[in-house]
Structure 1
Amino acid sequence: MAKVPAAYQATRGSILDVDRDFYARLTDPAGRERIEQLTVPIRDGLAWTVPAGHVIRLSTQDGPQVGDFNLWSLHNPRERFWASRTRQLQRAHVSTFDRLWSTLPYLRPMATIIDDTLAGYGVDGSGVDEEGGRIHDLLGTRCDPYVNRLLTGEDFDHHCHSNLVRAVAPFGLTEFDVHDVLNVFQCTGLNDDDQYFMKACPAQEGDYLELFAEIDLLCALSCCPGGDLSVDLWGPNARDPLETCHPIGVEVFRLDASLLQGWRPAEPSPYAGGHGMRGPGIDWAEKKRDLAARKTGR
């Protein structure tokens, strides 16, 4: 089958043209200091903050486990991770040197993946297995109590959506702020009928995904109640997957200043137009500058 080119192409020097040498250098253990270490308990959620220019490591502590990851701009939660645009600009399953993008009107990289121990998953390290499964999924979204009620007729309060709602409540956010996720460590794909499938998580104890914060972030992660997804959650073979659940580790690292020379936090989209709306006394360029100042705190 002929390979069809991607619709969104990176031109040389554009924001999609990632400086791989720069980000590869950030993985050196000698150039970092761990400043925070947390654990997301099984079937629960956790939220934490990360300053721009720091590294986040998510790791499977005691065995395979999938997690649902949300991101917001720390200073403006209206700016949050945009899973569908990230899927278009990067790929449906992300890995090293892919970026996580924010919603309009900001549209900037919130984080860049710099390391992934599962990057070599699949056939001959291709990242895809015999059935088309890939890791770190943007195809699906979080499990939630609403669809569970729809499928089972029962209420359950510890789906990923609910875990994230509880996690961000201390930061003043609500259910309306929780959004489509990056499913970390999750193996998924599309079957021959173009339907979404999930497979057992291949991560082992100690596997990790590392991201570099391009702006100040509020992060939240749910330890999925489905555990490693080796057990059917719905359907005729469904059973409680509690025995497959493991915690997920979170670490935040401060980098040596020398590694960040020349780097600056990502700026919001420079689009300064008014979407075709014009009127007397409206200076759209000035409004855009004011918006950017409010978003960056400057």
Structure 2
Amino acid sequence: MPSDHPPAPAYTATPGSILHPNKPLYDSIAQANRTLTTSFTLPIRSGRAWTVPAGHILRISTPEGPQVGDLNLWNLHNPRERFWAARTRQLHASHVSTYDRLWSTLPYLRPMVTIIRDSLGPAYGVDKWNGRVHDLLGTRCDPYVNKMLSGDSYDYHCHSNLVRAVLPYGLTEFDVHDVLNVFQVTGLDAQGRYFMEACPAQEGDAIEFFAEMDLLCALSTCPGGDLSVWGWGEGGEGEEGEGEKKGKSMLEVCRPLKVEVFRVEDEGVLEGWVRPEVPAYRGAHGMAVPEGEKQG
């Protein structure tokens, strides 16, 4: 029979665990003097890739107001190690914020970045529909599902934007993976169905990540813009809903995102930081007993 008490989280950790980063250390990093090394504004409905050295800070912001972005991460030196949205969701939550970490795929399983500042998530909290910001429940929009649902071909979905972005780095469509939807509000309804809400970001909202390893990053400015209007296809004529203007297209609610990379300048602030290592599992996945565990 179901318990009268809510179930405990499946993944918990004691203080000092790698799941719980050293908050004073990351607070110091967030507050340290920094020097800008990379800066660009990503136009609407486009994608771009760039590198971030370990020990640097990555900042993504909304310079002109609400806009959703789809973020991918890879180990710069080994693209087989890439962001794992599902495990991150299990280890932390369906939506991430300050002190949460984005984890890499097996067999590496280590933090790729740690979130050190978030102006939007804590302020937004949980809305009346149980929606939260910085989504790990869903994934990128793509031309395949668009073709399936609408019959139309459109080349600037987030998946396609990310594919174009990584080609100069020797990666292909097969390297593009499930994303962190930054600034996106989502949740599950009473029937367990995925929903999206309009992005609540204001001009200048930002999320900052500390790079735990050398990274290749790619970001797409979603063709749905702030998601206040949503539909499939290039025109994207959304249905009228609460707070929406009938007939308004998705293009009208698209805005750029700004990307900045900073080098930490304060001497000593990184002394307590250690690059995460791969878990020391040295087994062979039971290959010596391929039929399964011995019984008895």
Q: Confirm or deny: 8 A CA contact 1:186 1:201 kept in the other structure.
A: yes
Q: Which residue does the alignment assign to 2:270?
A: 260
SS in 2 for 1:151: helix
Residue 22 of structure 1 aligns to a residue in which SS?
Answer: helix
User: Contact conserved, 2:43 with 2:221, CA < 8 A, in 1?
Assistant: yes
Cα distance change, pair 218–245 in 1 and its aligned pair in 2 (3 A): same
C-alpha offsets along residues 170-215 of structure 1, whole Å, 9 cap, x if unaligned?
A: 0000000000000000000001111000000000110000000000
CA distance, structure 1, for counterparts of residue 29 and residue 238 of structure 2: 47
Q: Name the residue aligned to 2:20.
A: 17
Inter-partner Cα distance in structure 1 for 2:91 and 2:133: 17
1:96 positional shift: 0.3
Residue 277 (1) aligns with residue 287 (2): yes
Distance 1:139 1:261, change over 3 A: same
Q: Who is 2:243 aligned against?
A: none
3-state SS in 2 of match to 1:260: coil
Q: Name 1:78's counterpart in structure 2.
A: 80
Write the deviation string for residues 90-143 of structure 1: whole angstroms up to 9, x where unpaired: 100000000000000000000000000013234xxxx10111110000000000
The 1-side partners of 2:56 and 2:157 are apart by 29
Aligned to 1:107: 109
Query: Gaps spanning 5+ residues in structure 2: where?
Result: 240-246, 290-296
* Separation in 1, partners of 2:8, 2:212: 28
TM-score between both structures, scaled by the size of structure 2: 0.89
Judge conservation of contact 1:137–1:184 (CA < 8 Å) in 2: yes
TM-score by length of 1: 0.89
Match of 2:249 in 1: 240
Give the alignment of 1:1-298 within 5 angstroms: 2-28=5-31, 30-122=32-124, 127-234=125-232, 237=239, 240-256=249-265, 257-278=267-288
User: Would the aligned equivalents of 1:59 and 1:249 in 2 still touch at CA under 8 Å?
Assistant: yes
Match of 1:295 in 2: none
Provide the secondary structure at the position in 1 that maps to 2:148: helix
Moved over 4 A (4+): none
Deviations 1:261-289 (A, max 9, x none): 0212211121111112249xxxxxxxxxx
Aligned Cα root-mean-square deviation (Å)? 1.6
For 1:232 and 1:58, the matched residues in 2 are separated by 23
Q: 2:219 aligns to what SS in structure 1?
A: strand
Q: CA deviation at 1:236?
A: 7.4
Q: Normalized per residue, which structure has more helix?
A: 1
Tell me, yes or no, if the aligned pair for 1:69 and 1:219 is still in contact at 8 Å.
yes
Amino acid at match of 1:7: A
CA distance in 2, matches of 1:54, 1:3: 40
1:121 is paired with a residue whose SS is: helix
Q: How many residues align?
A: 274
Identity of aligned residues (%): 63
